A and B are shown apart, each in its own frame.
Chain A
Amino acid sequence: MNGKHNVLNIRFALLSAGLFAVTKSVIAAEAPEVDVTGSENPAVTALTEPDSEIEIGLGYISEDNFHYGQYRGLTDEGVYGLVNIDVAKRDDSTGTWLTLDGRDLGLDSRSLEFEHERQGNWGYFLDYAQLPRANPFTHNTGLEGIGSADLTISGVELRDTELELERKRLTLGGRKWFGEAFSVELTARDEAKEGARMFGRGTGGAMEFLADPIDQHIRQIEARVNYSGQKLALSGGYYGTDFDNEDTALNITGGAPELANGTGAFTPIALPPDNQSQQLYLEGNYRFTPTLTSNFKAAYSEATQDDAFILPAAPGNTNLDGKIETTLLQVGLTARPLPKLTLLANYRYDDRDDQTPVLDYFLVTTGSTTTGENEPRSIKTETGKLEASYYLPAGFRITAGFDDERKTRNTSPVRVVSYRRETDEQTYRVALRRSISETITGELTYAHSDRGGSDFETNTVVGGATGSNLIAPIHLADRTRDKTRLLVDWTPTEPLSFQFVANFADDDYDAARTTTDIGVRTGEYEFYSLDASYTFSESWEATLWLSTGSNQLEQGVCVGASSAGVCFNSTSSPTWAAQLGSDEESVGFSLHGKFGEKLSLGADVQYSSMLDEFEQVAITPNVVAPVIPDIETRSTTATLFGRYDLNERSSIRVDLAYDLYRTDDWTWSTFTYRDGTHVFNDPHDDVYFLGVSYAYRWQ
């Protein structure tokens, strides 16, 4: 732990102690006015009153690591404070709750939530949470100014640098009920995101390491009015967001001549601009009859972006004046015309209308694949669903459904990527479920989808010549998809249960727009999982699970197609295919129980093995495709805990965790940036965590 973190931890401990004191004083001020029946019997009180607990201890991390501690704030070897607070008090005479829930208060992943509520009348809360993220790489670099918007590449001595991000989120909220039917809610959140992220700049002659400064705020506010009646429930509200980036341009001094000099220098680099959105919505459900209900939502949103450009723009305007209006309409109906028959219909209309003014931002020459104009993206999505379910004898239920998703998009006449204005995917599915049985439940589902759409637009370049028209992008291409899922839940005897899941999916793409079979061709997915659970006694339970899965994707490409989209299929410009695979095996084991009344024990182990394959196959004769090595990653995480109750109110807890991570990832091993920066991905992570804590409980 460094000094900065220690200071923050002390501050936070003081804040937590303050809130804890406030909680106690409010509890004292709200002593019950009327004793209630259950509290007359201490034994019943112990079973019915909310529990509170405070836990304090120390933990030790055996070595610097990135895998186990990445999000936990436990990446550095050393000693950490373990503090958890869970206070729940209730005034039974008024139904007033007072809760304080603090977790990992001694770590950078701490959270603290304070809530005060008179149930069914009013309530408010204050929630603070931190979320650290350590970049898993070590950067040996001479880059100066990391964390700021002004970087210098001056060739100073290389040093090891680690990049970190941290989110600090504060949320305030409240709710007031007016009778049983009406309530209003308000939630406001500010999230500060700070640190630095891996970035870079590059061109054909040089590539340099940069760090993207992160000093941003995400603010969200939502206000809702709710109504809940016998037949009608409604929620109407406002949702506003604001993104505020302190750094909108990254300025780089020095570096390779190819990147640093001349009018084409790669500085400044634009960083994400400030932007905002506002939404008004109304949603609800209505019960026409006990067997006919509907739900609906209508929403209108406006997202804007008018942050000042980092450089003067050719049209003379100072910002994009970007505006996107989105209209959402959704309505659903469920009906049970017969006790055994359920019908469902749903329609959704989502119109994202990009109204950003189209301007000519830069001059282009004949043959360019862009016009120089900005390209607003409007997308309209309509989805419909029809479904019928019928109960058969012996607890079976059969469901048949039809889904349709139609997307309409705008496009520019000059494009670098193939495009079609409409896609339409229709899915037919059937499911057989056995939902009610004492020993076996399960389901078998099958779905067949067929995606097509309008003709692809012919890509042209500036001047009107035909551009390259070879590939149908993966999310636009014609595709048939078959998906099958089997789930069986079997309880042969009371303490023993099994669960088996098998998923299969086959994708067949028609991605090639010409006779050359390039683009994504096929995709396959398989997944099997088996869980077994055994309850030895009231106190002991064990679970074992195994899963194995595989993902395969095949796509065709050609090297150096002409600007008119001709694959030469020659030794210098071959046609080739990539066969991408990902195989995964995981095993988990869990054993939890108690020895006697005082000692609780638990063990959880999870092992995962992942193999990523990148096979390249030359289709053009006499060409040998480069071999890209597989990447194998293995991880094992084991946690053990023991808790011994010293008496009714206090206990000692010991936690032991072991994390083993291995990878032969070569992504950074052969690459050095032009400025000398080298990035290391530690292939071995082998770390222990030992924690000892004392807990005190009360009611």
Chain B
Amino acid sequence: MNTHNRLLAAVAWLALLAIAPALASAAEDAPKDGVLRGDAACTRCHDEESDFPVFAIGKTRHGVTADGRTPTCTDCHGPSDTHMNIPEGAKGRPSPTRLFGAASMTPIVERNGACLTCHNDGARIHWQTGPHAAADLACTSCHQVHTGHDKVRDKATQTEVCVTCHKEVRPQIARTSHHPILEGLMSCSDCHNPHGTAGEKMLVRDNVNDTCYSCHMEKRGPFVRTHQPVQENCAICHNPHGTTLPNMLKHRAPFLCQECHEPTSHRGNMGNTAVTGFGTNQNTVARGCLNCHTNIHGTNNPRDISNERTFRR
């Protein structure tokens, strides 16, 4: 190093020493993170007074910075460079790289990709081939991320979210015979996994019957005398979303039974509410056909002395 260079280096060091306190002070005055790692750049604008407040994410699992897996703002919303540093000549502030609201123009596959980066396992393992993914549903169509109370994850309020699309179910769950969904004791996700499953109708178990058995295991059998549709699919006779008939039956007896049974013997009888006494004409009052065929889901009685095989004993 020659003399000239040594002088320059000395001047540079002196200058650095002179401005060091100012730099340190500036670092102390720099905005601090409010909730998430590195969120200071965002929360300086997105405080509670802004149109898009974000602090409430601190109440959620996403706001737990001690869990190293939790995201930063830009992990979900993208780098958003032009949103934070408005380019010269821009009309207004450009949007963040990824937006999730109803009016977002971010492609849904990209929005969901931000969530699937972490939430790709467990109950969501079948999302990619599920009907909701195929129907262009965004995760944020159902979930609210920036709130301590995500309605769709609360049993008492989940149904309000589901019926915004599945409107035909809304009056069904209010029918006389229903599962306790309106009462908040059951929710759609007790039977369905909206993130997709390997089974039919996004049911939580592999098929309709296995899902029903998780609460109605007494119907599983196998029995000595089995009722074929019971073994195949509970929904052949029942509508689990609700009906106006006891036990959520789709139709009343004898009409329901006549949809399958040959009309020999008494099975083709018309319904009649005016008959008296006891006989096969009492097929639509009281329990209808079940007045006699009481064990309709199957019986484990090995005898057949009085036609027990027809689920009478």
Contact = CB atoms under 8 A, between A and B. Distances in A.
B40 to A, nearest CB: 9
B167 A531 contact: yes
A36 B167 contact: no
Interface stretch (A19-27, A144-152, A376-384): A376-384
Interface stretch (A6-14, A197-205, A446-454, A640-648): A197-205
B105 A377 contact: no
Contact of A207 (B68, B206, B259, B278): B278
Nearest to A40: B32
A71 B180 contact: yes
Nearest to A50: B59
A674 interface: yes
B61 interface: yes
A370 B309 contact: yes
A570 interface: no
A297 B120 CA distance: 15
Q: Interface on chain A toward B: helix, strand, loop, or mixed SS? A: strand
A53 to B, nearest CB: 11
Given A120-B67, A285-B120, A389-B134, A553 B251 contact: yes
Interface in B91-132: 102-105, 107-109, 120-122, 125-126, 128-129
Contacts of B165: 487
Interface string B259-274: 1111111101111111
B211 interface: no
Given A72-B183, A330-B198, A503-B168, A119 B228 contact: no
Q: How large is the interface on A (under 10, 10 to 19, 20 to 34, 35 or more residues)?
A: 35 or more
A444 interface: no
B244 A576 contact: no
Contacts of B305: 263-264
Contacts of A584: 171
A47 B271 contact: no
Interface string B50-63: 00010111110101
A633 B246 CA distance: 13
A49 B58 contact: yes
Interface stretch (B10-18, B21-29, B82-90, B288-296): B288-296
A299 B205 CA distance: 11
Contacts of B79: none
Interface stretch (A75-83, A269-277, A593-601, A690-698): A269-277
A663 interface: yes
B171 A580 contact: no
B222 A324 contact: yes
B66 interface: yes
A634 B58 CA distance: 46
A638 interface: no
Interface residues of B, number: 122
Given A37-B32, A555-B258, A561-B268, A47 B48 contact: yes
B66 A94 contact: yes
A629 interface: yes
A588 to B, nearest CB: 8
Contact of A309 (B53, B200, B273, B302): B302
B260 A322 contact: no
Nearest to A235: B125
Contacts of B271: 578, 614, 616, 626, 628
Contacts of A72: 183
A200 B282 CA distance: 14
A565 B270 contact: no
B272 A626 contact: yes
B198 A273 contact: no
B306 interface: yes
B301 A311 contact: yes
B189 interface: no
Contact of A119 (B61, B207, B260, B285): B61
B167 A547 contact: yes
A283 interface: yes
B144 interface: no
Contacts of A265: 306
Contacts of A143: none
Given A228-B120, A269-B294, A674-B278, A374 B224 contact: yes
Interface stretch (A55-63, A154-162, A468-476): A468-476
Interface string B275-313: 000111010111100111011010111111110010011
Contacts of A322: 221-223
B136 interface: yes
Nearest to A245: B218
A668 B32 CA distance: 72
Contacts of A65: none
A539 interface: no
Contacts of B263: 468, 470-471, 518, 557-561, 567
9 contacts: A70-B180, A199-B294, A233-B125, A348-B198, A362-B304, A372-B304, A433-B136, A578-B271, A616-B271
Interface of B: 32-35, 48, 53, 55-59, 61, 63-69, 102-105, 107-109, 120-122, 125-126, 128-129, 133-136, 148, 156, 164-165, 167-168, 170-171, 174-176, 180, 183-185, 196, 198-200, 206-207, 213-215, 217-226, 228-229, 231-233, 236, 244, 251-252, 255, 258-266, 268-274, 278-280, 282, 284-287, 290-292, 294-295, 297, 299-306, 309, 312-313
The 7 lowest CB-CB distance pairs between A and B, nearest first, are: A48-B58, A95-B66, A332-B129, A313-B302, A297-B198, A272-B218, A473-B260
Given A269-B294, A376-B226, A670-B285, 16 more contacts: A49-B59, A103-B184, A203-B306, A241-B213, A295-B198, A328-B199, A362-B302, A377-B231, A387-B134, A417-B262, A471-B258, A471-B262, A501-B168, A549-B168, A626-B273, A635-B174
